[in-house]
Amino acid sequence: MKIFHISDLHLGRQLGGWDLAESQRFMLGQIVDKARQVRPDAIVIAGDIYDKAVPSGEAFSLLDDFLCDLGDITPAIPVMIIAGNHDSAVRLNFASSFLEKHQIYISVMPPQAEEEHLKKVVLHDEHGPVNFYLLPFTKPGYVRGLFHDKSLSYEDAFAGILGREKIDFSQRNVLAAHQFFVSGQKSPEKCESELAYLSVGGVDSIDTHVVSDFDYVALGHIHGRQSIGGPHIRYSGTPYKYSVSETGHHKCITLVTLGEKGSTPEITFLDLECKPEVRKLRGSLEEIIAGAADGCDDYVSITLMDENPVRPRDFLDEVFTRILEIRVDNTQTRTMLTARETAEDFPEPSSAFADFYREINGADMNEAQQVIVEDVVESLKGREENAS
Amino acid sequence: MKPIFLEMKAFGSYKDATIDFSQVPGGIFLITGDTGAGKTTIFDAITYALYGESSGGRRSGSMMRSQYAEPDQVTSVFFRFSYGGKIYEIRRIPEQVRYKKDKDGSFRKLKTNLMASVSLTMPDGSEHPGNIAAVNREIEKIIGLDKAQFTQIAMIAQGDFLKLLLASSDDRRKIFARIFDTEIYRRIEQELRERCDRQLGALLQNRDHIRLTLDKVPFCGDEALEERWHAFDGGRFSENDPEGLLALVQEICDAWKMQLEELDRQKDAISKDRNETDHQLQESRQVSGWFDDLQKAESAMENLLAAGRRIQDLRDRLDAHRRAQDLMGLHAELKKSRKDKTEADAKLKELDAWISEHRPILEAAKEKRAAAGEMQKKLSPELVTRIEGLQADMPLYERLEGLEKDSRELKSQTEGLRQLIEKGTSDHKELEQQIRELTLTMDHDRDEVMRLAELKPEKARLDDLSGKLVRLEKAAKDAAGQEKKLKKAEEAADAAQAEAELARENYEAVYAEMMKDHARMLAITLKEGSPCPVCGSIYHGGATAAGGDGAGRSSEEAEQARAAREEAESRLKDRRMEAEKILTKLTFVREQYQSLSEEVRETAGDQYDPEDLTSLRLRTDNRREELRLEIEKLEKVQKKMPAAQERLAGLKAAMEVLEVSGSANETRYQETCRNAAAAEAAYKEAASRMTFEDKEKAGAALKEAQDQLERLNTAERTARDEEALHIREMAEHEGRRGQTAGRLAECEAALGKAQEAFDGGLKARQLADEETYLKVLLTAGEASEADQVIRDHEQALAATRQDLDRLRECTAGREKPDLSVITARLAELEQKIRDLEKPIRETAAAEKVCRTALEDAEKLYKKRAGLSETYKDLKQLSDTAGGNVPGKKLRFETYIQRRYFKSVIARANQRLIKMSRGQFALVCRELDQSRGNAYIGLDLDVQDLVSGQMRDVKSLSGGESFLASLSMALGMADMITASHGSVRIDTMFIDEGFGSLSDDVRNQAIEVLASLSEGSRMIGIISHVSELRAQIDIRMNVTRDARGSHAKWQTDDQADGV
């Protein structure tokens, strides 16, 4: 059985003030094309469909067109979607029952009442059934009602939800989730995009041992493609470079081929072209402009290393059409970033005065003047102490 | 400072709320809610609890008071927080008006306000003992921040946030001065300036001193010096050439000294001449004295010789005196013997006189003694007999007394018993009367109560009747009313009938008219030969002529008339139905009336008159009221009857007791009467046997007899004692007279002997008689004086003689000199010396003044050099500190503040560059661009890091301003932590500002804050930005409803409904 694993579409996202709608439309088009070629048995989208809880109309129409295009493929490919932390459960859930009739399965909330269970989709191939469990983004509070434990951790909550399901591990099982997974001391490689959303101190981290029994775990949340805690537990990464920190990433669809029970799934990657490309440029103004022959329409983050850039924006605007940001990395900014406090910050009044005198008069005080200043400072301190 | 628990009572928009911060593990948490829900109030409460002022600086209770609280609820804030792992608790109550709840639930304002108070519990559980000011100081000590610092870096209020960023340079200077306490630097400036001024003052004073000192120097008129003198301002001061001035003064001084030496020389020469002349005068005076003395000695000699005769007389007298002096002993003896004899004579005469006077007195005493003895012998036996008799009778009188007492007691007992019996009798009579009356009353009541059996049924019957009558009356009234209504309805129906007929006629008329018109209209349009659509006739001429007036009725009018007719008919139908309805009702009411009337007649009988129901009802009701009162009264009587019965039994029992005790008293009375009579008889018999009436009188007689006997004995004893005294005195005086007579004889013999011896002495010393002896005898003083006079005379004579010899020798061959010439010369010389003294004195003084002034001036000039040097140093320091160095107008305090400011900016930039993605940084504007204002140097610019361009910080956009402000606050916090080593800023609250950020920038800001929190620091963000809710797990939701604000920690039980 072949499965497309993608996640973190972030529809409606902006990059450095630029609207990415067209780039995203192109990206989704590629995915539809690949689906048409490969004819996977299922497409799993592991969360963060939209970038915002309240997506723009354009974002809605992007998803609409995407699902529509997929629906045009026959025989129909089942699509499984879970909500990520960026998604609004209520909004994503719109028309889900209707969509289910067209084999589009959407799960937005973990079970919250005794009688509720994870959404389970069963598909078959020559080796028998494959059970897909859809577990949307979960905070402990969402399921507190199930476990009556106030101090429930992310891992407790997640393991608890899985524990409630009667999962037959003699069959093949696939889990879709959108959480921050770690494996022992090892954490996934992160980039700027998700930093603001991760809890400091790692309270939201879940160890992969709670999911290791699944035959494949399709994860979303982290923007860089990677496996964690085993070859069958994977983040697919974003299908597009959503921050300057992702310029080094290679964006793909993760194609999972499940064999019979017990065999390691085969993982291959179907390349996705980012259009326009997102790039980081670093060097002197002259170098950057000289090297700008190709990719003048890419999204570029430019770091200038000139000590004294003169109206660089005017020069760069002439060459590049989509500038994300222009930064300067030179002695001045480095000094600004590394300046630490010194004893100089809080000098004694008399030595401060000595500095001041030197600065104003270009020479040190004579001995008599030093004595005077010290006497003045001492007498004022004494007065202050008496007063207090 | 880390918050643990906050309680707000009647504070802000909170009526009574608690917030438990201990749930926040650290890191960022969000306080969210709509605008005005009370987010900032939480913030205010913490600031108020700590510093006694809300973040906006309010401190009075009325301003913080909740409008949701009951007036009598006291506004207070309680805050528990930890600092450095120790837990503190503070409760504050602001000053506020007090209300009291009255019984009716309203509130009354009390006259006195509740005063502000605070209580701080220290980690060891003790309460801080100080007053509000002391607690405020303690809090500043614990937290290490004062309120200004706290609200600038730990609890950044809505308005304060941008303040630091956008403040003017001068405002920023004030903020910095407050937060970093740069007061001391300003004071250093001030102190330096003051010291400099003082130093200048000392210099000026020194100059005046020098002037004053040198002004005293007297000028000696040396023309050579005069020119220089004037060159130095009259020789008083020189700034440039003090040495020259001092040399000039030295020369003047020397000139004065020479002048003085010349004068001294003159004076010495004259003095020598004078001394010689003086010596000459002394010698001449001595010689002249000798001549004078010789003359005096000669005259004294003459006088002494002339006194020789008088001295001889004195010698003779002294000789006679010495002879008489030998007889002084004998003469004294003679005088003593004479005196003894005279005394003995006088004593004898005195004793004789006494004896002759006392002899008759002795005789009289003897006689008196004899008479008293006689009287005693005669009277005493009889008195003794009488006394003994009376004493024997005394016991008998005592017995008599006893009898009398017995008799009296018995009599009084009798009287008591008699009264008891009388009272018994009267009580008995009274009881009898009461029983009789009670019995009568009871009989009467019993008869009365019997009547209840008749009255009650009658009342029941009347109650029934009354009810029926009321109903009957109502039925009659209803019937009358319905009749009236019926009549009206019938009238209305008749009227409607008439109307309907009129309408019908009208309609018929109109309809007929209309039909005619129709026909005419048809006729007009018809052409001859074409068939009529109605009748089919092809001839129409006649029809046209029959058209009448041509102004016929239209079908509309007919329609109106028809409608009017139908309306009238339907109205008629309604009226008729109404009348019928009323008639039905009337019939029903009448039937009701009939059946009631029958019932009443049965009950009331012939009293019933259907025409006058009212009077029957009134009568019935009156009777019912009478019966009700009567029954009520009788029932009361019935209730009281058992009590009366009980009382009667009680009275009868009392009477029986009274009768028994009465007969017992009678028996005792009889017996006591008998005993009393017997006792009285016994007493009377005993009394008749006695002499005296009772014991008292017998006792008086006994005492009288005893006194009489005592008087007799006393008189006899007194007379005897007196007689013995007189006899003793007489014997004594007679003995003494004998002795005195003997002594007189001895004295006379001694006198004779003494006379003889003295007379012999006189003869031997050739003294005529005793009289001569007394005359010649001198007193001791006279004798020694005479002796002295003689001796003095002899000495004087000898001395004078010696003097004469000596002086004659000295003066031999000399003349007496003339003194006046020498004296005149001496006087002349002395005058000359005196004349010189004044110029010498003056010159010496001038020289001294000059010298002193010179010395003083030298000292002052020396001091001046030091003062001048110090002044130069100070002036430079003061000018530097005060920004008065030309071209460098930077004050010391400003310099320091710029240093702080730059440090804060450096720290702020580290965060700002990150948050702004390397776009811009803050820069302290260079000095010379601040237009050289000596005060201010704290202007803030923002540098575009890409273009390197500087622009004013006010040109930042809202989001950029927020980031810059946040960076400044964080930089400031870093600075304060660094400058006060012990200050820990564990908690930060940021009120609003996130709304102005774009998604990217907000994420950057959150990231910086998250890294700041380092997991343990608490960072509270107060905001209503919905995107933040997705990013921050720990949230407090603040809502507000009719009961005030509520703050609740939100767990993420539901996905946010955004």
Q: Do B1056 and A86 touch (CB under 8 A)?
A: no
Angle, helices B820-881/B183-215, rounded to nearest 10 degrees: 160
Quick one: pLDDT at residue A62? 95
Instruction: Name the residue facing A328 among B185, B876, B918 (closest C-beta).
Output: B918
Q: Do A366 and B913 touch (CB under 8 A)?
A: no
A89 contacts on B by Cβ (under 8 Å): 1055
Question: How far apart are the CA of B224 and the nearest CA of chain A, in angstroms?
Answer: 44
pLDDT at A11 over 50: yes
The band of A220, judged by pLDDT with boundaries at 50, 70 and 90, is very high
Q: Do B1055 and A109 touch (CB under 8 A)?
A: yes
Tokens at residue A200, please?
């400091």
pLDDT at B844 over 70: yes
A360 contacts on B by Cβ (under 8 Å): 880, 885, 888, 890
pLDDT at B1011 over 80: no
Question: How far apart are the CA of B1032 and the nearest CA of chain A, in angstroms?
Answer: 8
Question: How far apart are the CA of A155 and the nearest CA of chain B, in angstroms?
Answer: 16
Nearest residue to B372 via CA among B27, B713, B131: B713
Per DSSP, the three-state class of A104 is strand
Instruction: Name the residue facing B1053 among A144, A332, A338 (closest C-beta).
Output: A144
Q: pTM for this one?
A: 0.52
Q: Alpha-carbon distance B459 to B401, whole Å?
A: 87
Question: How far apart are the CA of A71 and the nearest CA of chain B, in angstroms?
Answer: 29
Average pLDDT over residues B956-972: 82
Tokens at residue B1057, please?
């409904």
pLDDT at A339 over 60: yes
Quick one: pLDDT at residue A343? 47
Percent residues over pLDDT 90 in chain A = 52
The band of A28, judged by pLDDT with boundaries at 50, 70 and 90, is very high
Average pLDDT over residues B541-562: 60
- In terms of CA atoms, which chain B residue is nearest residue A353? B892
Q: Alpha-carbon distance A66 to B164, whole Å?
A: 51
Percent residues over pLDDT 70 in chain B = 92
Question: How far apart are the CA of B214 and the nearest CA of chain A, in angstroms?
Answer: 31
Instruction: Name the residue facing A337 among B903, B910, B1053 (closest C-beta).
Output: B910
Average pLDDT over residues B727-742: 84
Selected residue with higher pLDDT from B537 and A138 = A138
B1057 contacts on A by Cβ (under 8 Å): 90
pLDDT at A5 over 90: yes
Q: What are phi and psi of B972, to 5 degrees?
A: -65, -45
3-state secondary structure B338-381: HHHHHHHHHHHHHHHHHHHHHHHHHHHHHHHHHHHHHHHHHHHH
Quick one: pLDDT at residue B901? 84
What does each C-alpha distance from B909 to B920, B938, B971, B988 come to in angstroms?
Answer: 9, 16, 8, 19
Q: Alpha-carbon distance B915 to B994, whole Å?
A: 13
Q: Alpha-carbon distance A255 to B502, whole Å?
A: 102
Nearest residue to B1036 via CA among B8, B342, B13, B30: B30
Q: Do A349 and B185 touch (CB under 8 A)?
A: yes
Nearest residue to B944 via CA among B932, B926, B956: B956
Question: How far apart are the CA of B8 and the nearest CA of chain A, in angstroms?
Answer: 26
pLDDT at B61 over 70: no
Average pLDDT over residues B793-814: 86
Quick one: pLDDT at residue B553? 53
Q: Alpha-carbon distance B816 to B295, whole Å?
A: 12
Helices (H) and strands (E) in chain A, counts: 12, 19
Instruction: Name the residue facing B978 among A328, A338, A341 (closest C-beta).
Output: A341
Q: Do A333 and B1013 touch (CB under 8 A)?
A: no
B960 contacts on A by Cβ (under 8 Å): none
- In terms of CA atoms, which chain B residue is nearest residue A367? B873
Tokens at residue B951, please?
């622009």
Instruction: Name the residue facing A89 among B895, B1000, B1055 (closest C-beta).
Output: B1055
Residues 6+ apart with CB under 8 A from A206: A154, A155, A158, A159, A179, A180, A181, A182
β pairing state of A278-283 and A18-19: unpaired
Instruction: Name the residue facing A53 among B903, B1030, B1051 (closest C-beta).
Output: B1030
Question: How far apart are the CA of B121 and the nearest CA of chain A, in angstroms?
Answer: 24
Q: Alpha-carbon distance B834 to B403, whole Å?
A: 141
- In terms of CA atoms, which chain B residue is nearest residue A331? B945
Angle, helices B39-51/B132-143, rounded to nearest 10 degrees: 110
Q: Alpha-carbon distance B473 to B1026, whole Å?
A: 80
pLDDT at B895 over 90: no
What does each C-alpha distance from A173 to A78, A215, A260 come to in angstroms?
Answer: 16, 5, 11
Selected residue with higher pLDDT from B992 and B194 = B194
| Residue the block writes with tokens 């002034």 | B853
Q: Which of B28, B895, B980, B994 to mutate to test the interface with A (most CBs of A within 10 A)?
A: B895
When the pLDDT of each residue in chain B is averaged and rounded to a whole number, the result is 82
Q: Alpha-carbon distance B576 to B496, whole Å?
A: 9
Let me know the angle formed at the C-alpha of B78 by B74 and B80, rounded to the nearest 5 degrees: 175
pLDDT at B935 over 70: no
Instruction: Name the residue facing A196 among B918, B921, B1006 (closest C-beta).
Output: B1006
Question: Residues A224-259: pLDDT tens digits?
Answer: 999 999 999 999 999 999 988 898 899 999 999 999
Q: Do A380 and B1003 touch (CB under 8 A)?
A: no
Selected residue with higher pLDDT from B526 and B379 = B379
Assembly ipTM: 0.74
Quick one: pLDDT at residue B974? 78
What does each C-alpha distance from B585 to A285, B262, B301, B572 come to in angstroms?
Answer: 113, 169, 195, 20
- In terms of CA atoms, which chain B residue is nearest residue A364? B877
Question: How far apart are the CA of A230 and the nearest CA of chain B, in angstroms?
Answer: 29
Quick one: pLDDT at residue A199? 59
Quick one: pLDDT at residue B917? 78
B1053 contacts on A by Cβ (under 8 Å): 141-142, 144-145
Question: How far apart are the CA of A94 and the nearest CA of chain B, in angstroms?
Answer: 14
Average pLDDT over residues B858-863: 89
Instruction: Name the residue facing B1053 among A85, A141, A304 (closest C-beta).
Output: A141
Residues 6+ apart with CB under 8 A from B158: B40, B991, B992
The band of B751, judged by pLDDT with boundaries at 50, 70 and 90, is confident
B1017 contacts on A by Cβ (under 8 Å): none
B947 contacts on A by Cβ (under 8 Å): 309-313
Tell me the torsion sign for CA atoms B538, B540, B542, B548.
positive
B1015 contacts on A by Cβ (under 8 Å): 200-201
What does each C-alpha distance from B241 to B232, B679, B782, B945, B995 come to in angstroms?
Answer: 9, 153, 98, 64, 78
Q: Alpha-carbon distance B152 to B250, whole Å?
A: 72
Residues 6+ apart with CB under 8 A from B214: B235, B236, B237, B245, B249, B853, B857
Q: Alpha-carbon distance B648 to B439, whole Å?
A: 8
A333 contacts on B by Cβ (under 8 Å): 913, 918, 921, 945
Q: Which of A328, A333, A367, A388 to mutate to test the interface with B (most CBs of B within 10 A)?
A: A328
> In sequence order, which ranges of B307-327 are alpha helices (DSSP H)?
308-325
Average pLDDT over residues B640-650: 86
Nearest residue to B591 via CA among B494, B488, B476: B476
Let me know the angle formed at the C-alpha of B174 by B173 and B175, rounded to the nearest 5 degrees: 90
- In terms of CA atoms, which chain B residue is nearest residue A140? B1052
DSSP string covering B742-775: HHHHHHHHHHHHHHHHHHHHHHHTT--SHHHHHH
Q: Do B1031 and A377 touch (CB under 8 A)?
A: no
Quick one: pLDDT at residue A387? 58
Question: How far apart are the CA of A5 and the nearest CA of chain B, in angstroms?
Answer: 25
DSSP string covering B841-897: HHHHHHHHHHHHHHHHHHHHHHHHHHHHHHHHHHHHHHHHHTT-BTTB---HHHHHH
> Do residues A10 and A222 lie in contact, with contact meaning Cβ atoms separated by under 8 Å?
no
Quick one: pLDDT at residue B29? 84
Question: How far apart are the CA of B185 and the nearest CA of chain A, in angstroms?
Answer: 7
Q: Which of A94, A314, A353 to mutate to test the interface with B (most CBs of B within 10 A)?
A: A353
B877 contacts on A by Cβ (under 8 Å): 357, 365, 369, 372-373
